[in-house]
Amino acid sequence: MSRTEQPGQPGQPGRHGQSGTGRRRPPTIHDVAREAGVSRGTVSRVLNGGHNVSPAALDAVNSAIRKTGYTVNRHARSLITGRSDSVAFLLTEPQERFFEDPNFNVLLRGCTAALAAHDIPLLLMIAGTEAERRRNMRYIAGHVDGVLLVSSHSGDPVAARLHEAGVPLVACGKPLGQGSKVSYVAADDRDGARDMVRYLYESGRRRIGTVSGPLDTPGGVERLAGYREMLAECGLPADDALIVPGDYSRASGEAAAALLLERAPDLDAVFVASDLMAQGVLAALEKGGRRVPEDVAVGGFDDSPAALASRPELTTIRQPWDRISAEMVRVLLARIGGEEPAAVILPTELVRRDSA
C-alpha cells in the first residue's frame, strides 16, 4: 500500500472518507476498490454496466458501494463518458391528453421504476405541437442519452429526426413508416382485437360495431385490422357503417357511439379500441336507453384504471404495461450500449367483467 493510501496519516484520506483531521469527505472509487479488494478498473467496469466482471467481483463491489455509501459523481462521469446518465420520456400528444389518459401515467411510472433500478433519472417531455417538438429536439441533443418515444403518429417527424440525429430511441408501438430503423415495444394489438371480437361473437352478438383508435397510429390501425379479420372468420359481413374512428378520448367515444346507434339501431355489441373511449360509449348507450350488456355488449382495450372505474366494469383486453415499460427500458439501454435496433411484441389477455 502506498503512503497516500495509509489510513490515519495527517492530511490524508482515511478509510471510508475519514480524513486525518477528523473531517468527513464523500467516499471515492478508491475507497470502494479498497473495501472490495479489487482494482479501481474493476469498480469502474461495474459502474459502467458490469461487463467482463466475475460474479464474485460484482458482488464484492456492490457490497462495498453499499457499505461505503459511495455515489457516482454524475458530472465528472459525464465528462469522461460523454453521457448524461439520463433518459427522456417524450410524449407526442397535447398536454391535456397526458392528464386525461391513464395509460400514459401507468407507462411513465413503469419506465421510471425500471430506470431507477439502474440509478438513471427520467425526464418527462411533451411535444404536442411543432414548436414544442423543435424545443425538445434542441434540448435532447447532448442532454439525454436516449428517448422513450410514446404515442407516435403517422407523419410525425420526431422518430425520424431522433434517428437522423443519432439519438438512441425506443418507441411504444411500432412507428408507422419507420421500418426496421427504430426499436419498438408493443402489445399484440391485432391479436387482442381478434380475441375481443371472437368473445363477443361467441356470446351471441351478431351486429358488432367498433370505435377504432386514430388511424394514423399503429394501435388504431392494428386493432381495426384485427376487428375486420375476426368478423370475416366468424362469417359476419363487413359493414363500414359499423366502424367509427375516435381519438382515444372519452368525448370521442361518446360521439362515435351516438353515430353508431344512428346508423345501426340493431347494434348489439361494440368493440372499443381504448377503455377511456369505452367510458364515453357507455354514456352514449345510457342516453340512448340501451342496457349494458343486456341490449349492447361493450368490450374495451388496455385494462387501464378507466376499466374498473366504469359502470358496469369493462370487459377488456389487458396490455401488459409492466412488461412493456420494462422492455422499453431494457431495449433502450441496449441501444445506448451500441446494440442494433430490436422489436418486441408482447401478448395481450382478455379480461372478463360485467360489460360483455
pLDDT digits (tens, 9 = 90+) for 56-81: 988 998 899 888 888 765 544 544 44
Give mean pLDDT, residues 89-104: 89
Q: What are the helix and strand counts (H, E) for the chain?
A: 14, 12
Q: Three cell numbers at 76?
A: 465528472
Collapsing DSSP to helix, strand or coil, 343 comes out as strand
Give mean pLDDT, residues 184-205: 97
Q: What angle is formed at CA 198 by the lines to CA 192 and CA 204, rounded to 5 degrees?
A: 145
**What's the pLDDT at 290?**
97
Give the separation between CA 105 and CA 302, rounded to whole angstroms: 13
pLDDT band at 20 (very low <50, low <70, confident <90, very high): very low
Tens-place pLDDT, residues 267-290: 999 999 999 999 999 999 999 999
Give the separation between CA 338 and CA 329, rounded to whole angstroms: 14
Residue for grid cell 384504471: 305
Q: Please say if the pLDDT value at position 260 is more than 80.
A: yes
Give the separation between CA 294 and CA 285, rounded to whole angstroms: 12
Tens-place pLDDT, residues 290-341: 999 999 999 999 999 999 999 999 999 999 999 999 999 999 999 998 889 8
Tens-place pLDDT, residues 141-154: 878 999 999 987 77
User: Model-level pTM?
Assistant: 0.75
Give mean pLDDT, residues 14-28: 59
pLDDT band at 83 (very low <50, low <70, confident <90, very high): low
The strand pairing partners of 19, in sequence order, are 13
Amino acid letter at 99? F
pLDDT band at 221 (very low <50, low <70, confident <90, very high): very high
